Structure 1
Amino acid sequence: MRAVRYAEFGGPEVLHVAEVPVPEPGPGQVRVRVAASVVHPVDLMVRSGRFPAPLPAGPPYTPGWDVAGSVDAVGPSVDEFTVGDEVIGFSPWLQTTAGAHAEYVVLDAAWLTSAPAGVPATEAATLPTNGLAAAQALDLLSLPAGSTVLVTGAAGQVGGFVLALARAAGLHATGLAGADDREFVESQGAAFLSRTDDPTGTFDAVIDLAVIGSALLALVRDGGGYVAASPPLRPEPVRGIRTFALEVLPDGSRLGALVTLVSSGTIPLRVADVYPFADAAAAHDRLARGGVRGGVVVVP
Structure 2
Amino acid sequence: MRVIGVADFGAPEALREFDVDERHAGPGEVRLRVRAAAVNPTDTVARSGVYAARRGDTGSPHVPGMDAAGDIDEVGPHTETDLAVGDAVMAVVVPSGSHGAYSEHLVVPAESAARIPAGAGYAAASTLPMNGLTARLALDRMALEPGATLAVTGAAGAFGGYMVQLAKAEGLRVIADAAEKDEQLVRDLGADTVVRRGDDVAARILDVEPGGVDALADGAVQDELVGPAVRDGGRIATVRGFQGDEETLKRGVVVHPVLVVDYHRAQAELDGLRAQAEDGALSLRVARTFPADQAAEAHRLLEAGGVRGRLVLEF
Paired amino acid for 2:75? V
CA distance in 1, matches of 2:256, 2:31: 34
**Among 274, 288, 311, the residue aligned to 1:259:** 274
| Paired position in structure 1 for 2:222 | 212
| Paired position in structure 2 for 1:73 | 74
Paired amino acid for 1:6? V
CA distance in 1, matches of 2:11, 2:244: 29
Counterparts of 1:111-260 in structure 2, within 5 Å, are 111-190=112-191, 191-196=193-198, 198-201=203-206, 202-232=212-242, 234-236=244-246, 237-248=249-260, 249-250=263-264, 251-260=266-275
CA distance in 2, matches of 1:98, 1:235: 35
Paired amino acid for 1:176? D
Task: Give yes or no for the alignment of 1:105 onto 2:106.
Answer: yes
User: Gaps spanning 5+ residues in structure 2: where?
Assistant: 207-211
Paired amino acid for 1:114? R
The answer on whether the counterparts of 2:166 and 2:282 sit within 8 Å (CA) in structure 1 is yes
The answer on whether the counterparts of 2:175 and 2:205 sit within 8 Å (CA) in structure 1 is no
Pairwise CA distance, 1:234:
3.7
CA distance in 2, matches of 1:68, 1:134: 19
CA distance in 1, matches of 2:61, 2:139: 35
Paired amino acid for 1:214? E
Counterparts of 1:268-287 in structure 2, within 5 Å, are 268-287=283-302
- Change in Cα spacing, 1:52 to 1:144, as seen in structure 2 (3 Å) is farther
Q: For residue 111 of structure 2, give the secondary structure of its aligned residue in structure 1.
A: helix
Identity %: 38
Paired amino acid for 1:72? D
The answer on whether the counterparts of 1:141 and 1:225 sit within 8 Å (CA) in structure 2 is yes
Paired amino acid for 2:205? T
Paired amino acid for 1:295? R
Deviates more, 1:271-280 or 1:256-265: 271-280
CA distance in 2, matches of 1:234, 1:240: 11
Task: Give yes or no for the alignment of 1:22 onto 2:22.
Answer: yes
Paired amino acid for 1:240? G
CA distance in 2, matches of 1:299, 1:36: 4
The answer on whether the counterparts of 1:57 and 1:97 sit within 8 Å (CA) in structure 2 is no
Q: TM-score, normalised by structure 1?
A: 0.95
1:106-128 CA-partner distances (Å, limit 9, x unpaired): 00001111111121111000000
| Paired position in structure 2 for 1:34 | 34
Pairwise CA distance, 1:235:
3.4
Q: TM-score, normalised by structure 2?
A: 0.91
Q: For residue 283 of structure 2, give the secondary structure of its aligned residue in structure 1.
A: coil
- Change in Cα spacing, 1:138 to 1:53, as seen in structure 2 (3 Å) is farther
The answer on whether the counterparts of 2:15 and 2:295 sit within 8 Å (CA) in structure 1 is yes
| Paired position in structure 2 for 1:289 | 304
Pairwise CA distance, 1:218:
1.5
- Change in Cα spacing, 1:262 to 1:56, as seen in structure 2 (3 Å) is farther
Deviates more, 1:101-110 or 1:76-85: 76-85
The answer on whether the counterparts of 1:274 and 1:298 sit within 8 Å (CA) in structure 2 is yes
1:157-205 CA-partner distances (Å, limit 9, x unpaired): 1000000001100000111121111111111221100115642322001
The answer on whether the counterparts of 2:94 and 2:100 sit within 8 Å (CA) in structure 1 is no
The answer on whether the counterparts of 2:243 and 2:255 sit within 8 Å (CA) in structure 1 is no
Select the structure that is richer in helix: 2
The answer on whether the counterparts of 2:221 and 2:240 sit within 8 Å (CA) in structure 1 is no
User: Gaps spanning 5+ residues in structure 1: where?
Assistant: none
1:131-154 CA-partner distances (Å, limit 9, x unpaired): 011111111110000000110001
Q: For residue 200 of structure 1, give the secondary structure of its aligned residue in structure 2.
A: helix
Pairwise CA distance, 1:273:
1.1
1:55-77 CA-partner distances (Å, limit 9, x unpaired): 35323112111111110001112
Paired amino acid for 1:33? R
Deviates more, 1:52-61 or 1:147-156: 52-61
The answer on whether the counterparts of 1:227 and 1:234 sit within 8 Å (CA) in structure 2 is no
CA distance in 2, matches of 1:75, 1:234: 42
Q: For residue 113 of structure 1, give the secondary structure of its aligned residue in structure 2.
A: strand
Paired amino acid for 1:121? Y
Pairwise CA distance, 1:238:
2.4
Pairwise CA distance, 1:53:
5.5
